[in-house]
Amino acid sequence: MEEDGPWPPHKAPLDCGGEESDLEMKLLLVLTFLLTINVLCATPPRPNFVLIMVDDLGIGDVGCYGNKTLRTPNIDRLAAEGAKLTQHIAASPLCTPSRAAFMTGRYPVRSGMAAESIFGAFIFSASSGGLPENEITFAEILKMEGYSTGLIGKWHLGLNREKRNDFYHHPLNHGFDYFYGTTVTHLRDCIPGNGSVFLAGAAGFLKQTFVIACITFFTLIFLNYIGIIQIHWKVFGYVLLCIIIFVVPVVLFFWNFRNLNCFLLRNHKVIQQPLIYENLTQRMTNEAVNFILGNQNKPFLLFMSYIQVHTALYASAKFREKSKHGIYGDAVEEVDWSIGEILDVLNRNKLQEATVIYFTSDNGAHLEEISSSGEIHGGCNGIFKGGKATNWEGGIRVPGLLYWPGVVKPKTIINEPTSNMDIFPTVVKLSGAAVPQDRIIDGLDLMPLIQRESVTSEHEFLFHYCNAYLNAVRWNQRNSSSIWKAFFFSPIFYPEESEGCFNSHVCPCFGHLITQYDPPLLFDLSKDPGEKNPLTPHTEPNFYNILRTIEEATMNHRRSIPVTDNQLSVKNVIWKPWLQACCSSWLEFCYCDYDEENWSWIDPPKYKNK
Ligand X SMILES: *[C@@H]1O[C@H](CO)[C@@H](O)[C@H](O)[C@H]1NC(C)=O
Q: Mind telling me the catalytic residues?
A: 95, 156
> Closest approach of Cβ 279 to ligand X, in Å?
4
Q: Is residue 325 a contact residue for ligand X (CB under 6 A)? A: yes
Q: Cβ contacts of residue 20 below 8 Å, gap of 6+?
A: 14
Would you tell me the crossing angle of helices 326-348 and 73-80 to the nearest 10 degrees? 50
Q: Which of 382, 394, 399, 400 binds ligand X (CB under 6 A)?
A: 382
Q: Which is nearer to ligand X, 72 or 149 (CB)?
A: 72
C-alpha count within 13 angstroms, C-beta hemisphere, residue 429: 14
Q: Which of 61, 135, 177, 189 binds ligand X (CB under 6 A)?
A: 61
Q: Is residue 601 a contact residue for ligand X (CB under 6 A)? A: yes
> Closest approach of Cβ 420 to ligand X, in Å?
21
Stretch that binds ligand X, among 63-71, 168-176, 336-344, 458-466 (CB under 6 A): 63-71
> Sign of the C-alpha dihedral, residues 305, 311, 316, 320?
positive
Q: Is residue 399 a contact residue for ligand X (CB under 6 A)? A: no
Q: Is residue 598 a contact residue for ligand X (CB under 6 A)? A: no
- How far apart CA 525 and CA 475 sit, in angstroms, is 10
- How far apart CA 438 and CA 173 sit, in angstroms, is 20
- How far apart CA 454 and CA 443 sit, in angstroms, is 16
Rule CB under 6 A: which of 165-204 touch ligand X? none
3-state secondary structure of 319: coil
Q: Which of 380, 427, 501, 583 binds ligand X (CB under 6 A)?
A: 380
Comparing CA positions, the residue from 400, 386, 365, 381 lying closest to residue 494 is: 386
> Closest approach of Cβ 571 to ligand X, in Å?
38
Q: Which is nearer to ligand X, 246 or 601 (CB)?
A: 601
- How far apart CA 221 and CA 203 sit, in angstroms, is 26
Q: Which is nearer to ligand X, 279 or 457 (CB)?
A: 279
Q: Is residue 375 a contact residue for ligand X (CB under 6 A)? A: no
Q: Is residue 387 a contact residue for ligand X (CB under 6 A)? A: no
Query: How would you classify the pairing of strands 48-54 and 300-305?
Result: parallel
> Closest approach of Cβ 595 to ligand X, in Å?
9
Q: Is residue 313 a contact residue for ligand X (CB under 6 A)? A: no
C-alpha count within 13 angstroms, C-beta hemisphere, residue 46: 19
Q: Which of 10, 12, 16, 68 binds ligand X (CB under 6 A)?
A: 68
Alpha-helix runs per DSSP H in 265-416:
280-294, 326-348, 393-396
Q: Which is nearer to ligand X, 61 or 287 (CB)?
A: 61
Comparing CA positions, the residue from 127, 101, 46, 119 lying closest to residue 363 is: 101
Q: Cβ contacts of residue 569 below 8 Å, gap of 6+?
A: 115, 116, 117, 129
Q: Which is nearer to ligand X, 329 or 508 (CB)?
A: 329
> Closest approach of Cβ 601 to ligand X, in Å?
5
Q: Is residue 60 a contact residue for ligand X (CB under 6 A)? A: yes
Stretch that binds ligand X, among 122-130, 250-258, 377-385, 409-417 (CB under 6 A): 377-385
Q: Is residue 162 a contact residue for ligand X (CB under 6 A)? A: no
> Closest approach of Cβ 68 to ligand X, in Å?
5
Q: Is residue 70 a contact residue for ligand X (CB under 6 A)? A: yes
> Closest approach of Cβ 348 to ligand X, in Å?
23
Query: x/- site string to ligand X, residues 327 to 366, per CB under 6 A?
Result: -xx-------------------------------------
Q: Is residue 69 a contact residue for ligand X (CB under 6 A)? A: yes
Stretch that binds ligand X, among 17-25, 249-257, 374-382, 554-562 (CB under 6 A): 374-382
Q: Is residue 279 a contact residue for ligand X (CB under 6 A)? A: yes
- How far apart CA 502 and CA 516 sit, in angstroms, is 20
Q: Which is nearer to ligand X, 110 or 325 (CB)?
A: 325
Comparing CA positions, the residue from 357, 334, 358 lying closest to residue 345 is: 357
Would you tell me the crossing angle of helices 233-255 and 198-225 to the nearest 10 degrees? 160
Q: Which of 47, 53, 56, 67 binds ligand X (CB under 6 A)?
A: 67
> Closest approach of Cβ 282 to ligand X, in Å?
7
Q: Which of 172, 206, 239, 276 binds ligand X (CB under 6 A)?
A: 276
Stretch that binds ligand X, among 212-220, 229-237, 272-280, 470-478 (CB under 6 A): 272-280
* Cβ atoms 132, 402 nearer than 8 A: no
Query: How would you classify the pairing of strands 418-419 and 83-89?
Result: parallel
Query: How would you classify the pairing of strands 269-273 and 264-266?
Result: antiparallel
* Cβ atoms 352, 405 nearer than 8 A: yes
Q: Which is nearer to ligand X, 380 or 581 (CB)?
A: 380
Kindly report the CA angle at 89 between 536 and 335, in degrees rounded to 5?
A: 135
- How far apart CA 110 and CA 100 sit, in angstroms, is 10
> Closest approach of Cβ 394 to ligand X, in Å?
12
Q: Is residue 278 a contact residue for ligand X (CB under 6 A)? A: yes
Please tell me whether the peptide bond between 62 and the residue prior to it is cis, using omega within 30 degrees of 0: no
- Residues linked to residue 182 through DSSP beta bridges, in sequence order: 154
> Closest approach of Cβ 315 to ligand X, in Å?
11
Comparing CA positions, the residue from 93, 421, 89, 152 lying closest to residue 306 is: 152
Kindly report the CA angle at 162 between 161 and 164, in degrees rounded to 5?
A: 90
Q: Which is nearer to ligand X, 20 or 278 (CB)?
A: 278
Binding site for ligand X (CB under 6 A): 60-61, 66-70, 276, 278-279, 316-317, 325, 328-329, 379-380, 382, 601
